[in-house]
Structure 1
């Protein structure tokens, strides 16, 4: 059979053995009277500080020995001995007979012995007055300490925690000038003190006393924008209750939506190749964006205030839509639609010409010249002495005997979608 062993301080083991022996001798039962309190020195310290316990008075005359234990989070439920069964006479005393017991180890040492690492909350030291042998006890002295962190303790009870919550009515968003009622609710409700209402770091009015767990403040002065509102509780007795601050309450105050002051209108020449402008004015807008439409359908990518009209706009209707925005919302204004006309006729920049040998039977080739804007297609009409030659409408022409001695030209029609056609005629050449 396998046995497990646990290391214990020799004094603890000896005390247990003595107690067991005393039971064998049939000693009287224990008494659990509380004799008084103890002072913890120093009153504040750390997990590695040396601690001294001083009782408020002496043990009863019958007691010859004492034991000290500590109980709390991490320690056994019945407590862990920190001073084994020891004669009272080995310790110093105060003028009123109080017993001065320096602990030989620190709270960190005791926690390590108990097998845990986090010191937290309340721990109670109990000094038990007892007989040297047996289990007879004559009462206890007690003293608490509180670990406010894993490493820091204090002998005074920490202030009771409070919580503060904040609500606003009406619920935001509201328009500027609205009377907003702020209500701070405190728990526990019996905590006395006052509440500061804050907008960011700025205080709203004077501190308000707490009454029956609440404090209220009404303000009409919240400016346009988003506010971070908080309620901060300050107790009248900091030793009894702690301070607390509510979670930030985001609260929005808005201006009115933008208003149209000049109706939307498409201005400029509504012809292909021209640029039109969406003319409109708003009051109270922080930004304006634009949408252009063709026959009521939104034109992808057309989001500027101005727009060049393209071939695809002819002969459709175009209009613009302006969307003005501020912190409250958006207002839309749509212009009346205008019909897009043809752009101007293509203009000849370099005159058309004819290449090839100017003789009957030799191929003549028309060169269309250059145009602005650039043409996408051309058509051709060949002429003899200024009159159209029947069927001669290709880019090339072969002169016949009827052309000998006459002057031929070619007239070019330049075309581009959305624009009026342009016309130009080449210089004459005589066919030999």
Structure 2
């Protein structure tokens, strides 16, 4: 029998230990008191309830047990007291151990016995406590206090009990109770919604605040008996829902449904007044007539005048421009029409609280804009010499052409307008007075027009004198087996280019190739030097029936073998922006390289050399020259190169040459360009 009791005690101990599979904690009596103090000071403690105290009694052989729980319908955070009173009806005994079994969600607070051992699902005290059947002490009472935590299941009876050891006798009553049921948390729900009237289409934010709920719990929103949506509580216990209500007086309410840990609750009903949008009317105003290309104002007037929204204008049903914001009941769009009849309407797109509406169409008759044409021509010209005719149209049209006329005869083909201007180069072939005019064709939005005539007196050119001057241009340096150009320019006594005849190039007095024909005053001979050294070059102009022959000065070309690597050079050119025909201007070129530069510069007008080659001095060469023909001249400068230096060509620069009357003289202070 004693052996069986020992086994029972061992089994009970094993069961108690087995119930604590998770990490356990042990508190000494001092630690328990400290924990209790911290709990009472730092957390909510509703005290010991008394409304639902329950007691259960039973006997085990000669030992009688009375177990009382202060409140069997507890709530989270409440401290409940568990008392077990042990009495004897037989012989005296000594208790050595008492175990109080509890749910894991009860947090130990205190005990009336020293040095309690606190585990996850039980609290155990050990000592020596005598119980007499008739003498004092005839009972021992063991008291434990626990706090109910949120981890407890709700509305579910939670078992508890006790166990004891007397000598070698031990027994457990882990589920004797009384059972404790933890109530769900009480909640309150409030709803915040706008108290101002809203209109159909306006979004209203409903905000519910729930106390006693948990983050993630649902909240349902209702309009009367109709559930309109749901949301979840955030960490602050707030849930929101955006709602676009239908018209009428809406009764809105927030309902928090019961959860596993919380009771349901509902907010008070709130009324939200939702009104229908205000009807609007729109009238469009336009001018009865307009001129193509000239902006006019299209306007609308809204009723009521406090209507908010935008207006889209339309021309013959097609939208024009962007939508215009309505301000103080009106909207305006500046618009430019093309010629024709236009039906203008306007559609109002109402903002929140206002309906859309469309204006009745209004008609605008648009005519082309009148134009004025003016022609510009020189007062005098010579047969065979090109002149510039120009015409300008105002106001500046968007297109069209200009037909220049000499009297009734067309001059060339129609010329396209560029920024309201047309330009034509023309060469007169007959002497006399020519009446020059220009006819503008017109285009969409712009009417045709004819320029008043301008008279041009055309004469034959003055016969050039017989004397000529022949200028030779050769590179200062050349390489064997490389082609270089030898140039000659032949001018008459007036400085005009000579047409016709031939030029014979010479080296040391010996013919260099065949004679070269002179065209527009220029003769060019491509030549390849085969011998190293200094070559003396000259040229002889044969003359023509109207011009005498002439001979150039001798120029020298230093010929060397090609170097393996020549240094790069860069040539920059500076010319005046404009010049007067037959007035001398200065052309300036500079050559830049990483090493000192020597050699020559040849200036060109288009592909025609200007004068003779010019020697570089400190990397710079200048040439004084008088242009005899008017118009735009494309000027370049070509550096010949030298031993160890590559030749280079400048970017072309434009020089505009104009003519003046004989009584006007030269234009001074002309700007330079580079």
With the shorter chain as reference, the TM-score category is 0.5 to 0.7
Give the CA deviation at 1:144. 4.5
Aligned counterpart in structure 1 of residue 161 of structure 2, from 121, 126, 129: 126
Aligned counterpart in structure 1 of residue 121 of structure 2, from 53, 63, 80: 80
Give the equivalent residue in structure 1 for 2:389. 366
2:10 aligns to what SS in structure 1?
A: helix
| Structure 2 gaps, min length 5 | 1-5, 15-58, 108-119, 132-137, 203-244, 257-261, 325-331, 415-423, 460-674
Q: 1:129 to 1:315 in 2, by over 3 A?
A: same
Q: 1:381 to 1:283 in 2, by over 3 A?
A: same
Question: Deviations 1:290-335 (Å, cap 9, x if unpaired)?
Answer: 2233332234x4334313224xx43363423231413245312134
| Structure 1 gaps, min length 5 | 1-12, 22-27, 91-95, 112-117, 147-156, 177-221, 234-240
TM-score for the superposition, normalised by structure 1: 0.52
Aligned counterpart in structure 2 of residue 69 of structure 1, from 63, 84, 101: 101
Aligned counterpart in structure 2 of residue 326 of structure 1, from 341, 351, 355: 351
Give the equivalent residue in structure 1 for 2:442. 415
Q: Distance in 2 between matches of 1:372 and 1:278?
A: 27
- Paired residues, number: 313
Structure of higher CA gyration radius: 2
1:4-153 correspondence to structure 2 within 5 Å: 16-17=9-10, 19=12, 35-39=66-70, 53-55=81-83, 58-62=85-89, 66-72=98-104, 80-83=121-124, 89=130, 99-102=141-144, 119-121=151-153, 125-127=160-162, 133-135=169-171, 140=176, 142=178, 144=180
Q: Distance in 2 between matches of 1:314 and 1:370?
A: 19
**2:370 is equivalent to residue 345 of structure 1:** yes
Q: Distance in 2 between matches of 1:314 and 1:407?
A: 37
Q: Distance in 2 between matches of 1:80 and 1:278?
A: 84
Aligned counterpart in structure 2 of residue 263 of structure 1, from 267, 271, 283: 283
Q: Distance in 1 between matches of 2:65 and 2:308?
A: 77
Q: Distance in 1 between matches of 2:302 and 2:173?
A: 94
TM-score for the superposition, normalised by structure 2: 0.36
Give the CA deviation at 1:398. 4.5
Q: 1:280 to 1:53 in 2, by over 3 A?
A: closer
Q: Distance in 2 between matches of 1:139 and 1:357?
A: 132
Give the equivalent residue in structure 1 for 2:233. none
Q: 1:242 to 1:355 in 2, by over 3 A?
A: same
1:257 aligns to what SS in structure 2?
A: coil
Higher RCO, Cα 8 Å, sep 6+: 1
Output the aligned Cα RMSD.
5.7
**2:312 is equivalent to residue 303 of structure 1:** no
Give the CA deviation at 1:121. 4.3
Q: Distance in 2 between matches of 1:252 and 1:107?
A: 49
Give the CA deviation at 1:130. 7.9
Kept after mapping to 1: 8 A contact 2:439/2:450: yes
Q: 1:324 to 1:360 in 2, by over 3 A?
A: same
Give the equivalent residue in structure 2 for 1:336. 361
